[in-house]
Amino acid sequence: MTATSFRLALAQLNPTVGDVAGNAEKVRAARRDAAALGADLVMFSELFLSAYPPEDLVLKPAFQDACRKACEELARETADGGPALLLGLPWLEDGKLYNAYALLDGGLIQSVRFKVDLPNYGVFDEKRVFEPGPLPGPVVFRNHIRLGIPICEDIWSDEVVECIAETGGEILLVPNGSPFRRGVIEERLNVAVARVVESGLPMVYLNQLGGQDELVFEGASFVLNADRSFAHQLPAFREALVVTNWERGAEGWHCLQGEVAAVESGDEADYSACVLGLRDYVEKNRFPGVVLGLSGGIDSAICAAMAVDALGAERVRCVMMPYRFTSQESLDDAKACADALGVRYEIVPIAEPVEGFESALAELFAGTNRGITEENLQSRVRGTLLMSISNKFGPMVVTTGNKSEMSCGYATLYGDMNGGYNPIKDLYKTEVFRLSALRNRWKPVGALGPDGEVIPENIIVKPPSAELRDNQKDQDSLPPYEVLDDILACLIEHEMRLSDIVARGHDLETVKKVERLLYLAEYKRRQAAPGVKVTRKNFGRDRRYPIVNGFRDPGNGAHKPDPTLVKGVGKAGGESFDF
């Protein structure tokens, strides 16, 4: 490093929440690799030592101690003259806990900066666990460069970056824990460009990689020069260690042109997120593999494909559990899908246990008609068998309900809802069809499944059915999926009034029925397995509705407030009170 050049390594890596020792080893390995590439400084993502988001784990004093101890050990190791480190961790100072970013160099913790803007919306809940830091000035690196360190949300408004620019910052280094959802990559870029234009400074945007419960962090880190040109674009959905080369000229610091990787978008990004989320949930919880019921339907087929892409065929076990309503077509389709994927495939008939339950209940149910209760027995027997295989041999049960079904309660508690994780929980049924067709012509980079068609065409084109009674079809109970999914998206993603949904061309009674089903199924969703977040508003982290809920939209349109009835709103004083 000279006064006019330096080399910055970007470590887009996959940490594990709570695994402080393992994350520290990732730091050491990245530092060794970066040193071999001639780097002067290695940058890691937000809260890398704890991984993001640590949630209430970060409130444990023992966990805070472990993070601080690891940081100090890593700082001492920088006395060897190798690359310095920029590392995120929770930091306790004067009894207050901060989301911090530290510069480790020359055997010391040279500087620490605290996150200012703590997000408290959607999936974020940082105000609950952290204190906001003061507006930061730049960090001086080796007496040559003034590095501005706005942390993640700090660049989503202009105040923090403006402070850094006004106090002499020369480069913006932004560590992030920004989870994937549709459209977020474009949003991040727009925000970054706005801050670059306002400040006149180049920016490094480094994002976390990997799955953490429902969240997936896709990486997709990038470098923008002050003229807004791309100098680097790191890949999405996979780790990368990239060394960037910087030179100081008359106009300030400039990053030399490097690789601009292609980044998945649209359906390809959604599918890649589902695979990464499932893989990391299985790997980080140390399951040996997964097991799922393969019914011959599209939901279980795409989940099987995602599992094989994530883990490899040898770690995926599929079980067909036929009953007297299971068609030969479904048996053939399930076998064809299993063969295409190369997974272990077994058939376990369920007639005997189902009929055993019916026999046990016969006296209690005497005089009643056969209906949903008996249908659900089939699903619950299947759930019990899958959980038994999991208990005996260790694989995690993958549950396979899509967002359309989870929205309307078209799923059986303790039956097909059994399982540890659901990769398609945030995909509507129409999207499941679309992504299934996509997977037959494409697969993600690094996917472990076979090329070509893995979901038989007949599974994609046949009418969906739970096959719990003769000639059953999903749309005996639900509107056509293209209608249902549009209504659900209006209600869930956009919180639209019923009158506005009807204005899109939907029947009012159908919309009311869907809204009713959505509210009634809340208690089921509270008991559902976690699953990958893909949309703007998933169930659980984003959408938090009460189970007991007496509200229904009457569908009358927007209410027009009467301003003549309002005496005062938000006034600090000056109003008269009569007693």
Q: What is the 3-state secondary structure (H, E, C) of 469-504?
A: CCCCCHHHCCCCHHHHHHHHHHHHCCCCCHHHHHCC
67, 152, 274, 337: which one is catalytic? 152
Nearest to 164 by CA among 178, 174, 176: 174
> Is 277 within any annotated ligand binding site?
no
Backbone angles phi, psi at 205, to 5 degrees: -110, 105
What's the CA gap between 419 and 43, in Å, rounded? 38
> Is 225 within any annotated ligand binding site?
no
Backbone angles phi, psi at 518, to 5 degrees: -60, -45
> Is 295 within any annotated ligand binding site?
yes
Q: Does residue 221 contact residue 12 with C-beta atoms inside 8 Å? A: yes
Nearest to 567 by CA among 556, 578, 551: 578
Q: Does the bond joining 480 to the residue before it have cis omega, within 30 degrees of 0?
A: no
> Is 405 within any annotated ligand binding site?
yes
> Is 294 within any annotated ligand binding site?
yes
46, 153, 431, 515: which one is catalytic? 46
Spell out where 284-407 has E strands. 290-293, 316-320, 344-347, 396-397
What's the CA gap between 356 and 290, in Å, rounded? 28
The two three-digit tokens of residue 336, written as one number? 């064809």
Query: Helix (H) and strand (E) counts for the chain?
Result: 16, 19
What's the CA gap between 525 and 422, in Å, rounded? 12
Whether 513 is a known active-site residue: answer no
> Is 121 within any annotated ligand binding site?
yes
SS3 label, residue 573: coil
What is the sign of the dihedral through the CA atoms of 404, 408, 412 and 418?
positive
> Is 465 within any annotated ligand binding site?
no
Whether 46 is a known active-site residue: answer yes
What's the CA gap between 383 and 461, in Å, rounded? 26
> Is 485 within any annotated ligand binding site?
no
What's the CA gap between 302 and 431, in Å, rounded? 11
Nearest to 300 by CA among 497, 460, 520, 82: 460
Backbone angles phi, psi at 465, to 5 degrees: -155, 140
115, 425, 429, 533: which one is catalytic? 115
> Is 376 within any annotated ligand binding site?
yes
> Is 178 within any annotated ligand binding site?
yes
> Is 400 within any annotated ligand binding site?
yes
What's the CA gap between 538 and 403, in Å, rounded? 9
On the CB side of 422, CA atoms within 13 Å amount to: 29
Bridge partners, residue 173, by sequence: 204
**Which residues does the annotation place in the binding site for L-glutamine?**
121, 178
Annotated binding site for ATP: which residue ranges? Answer: 293-300, 400
Q: Please report, in range form, the residues annotated as the binding site.
A: 121, 178, 293-300, 376, 400, 405, 524
The binding site for deamido-NAD(+) comprises 376, 405, 524
Question: Residues with catalytic annotation?
Answer: 46, 115, 152
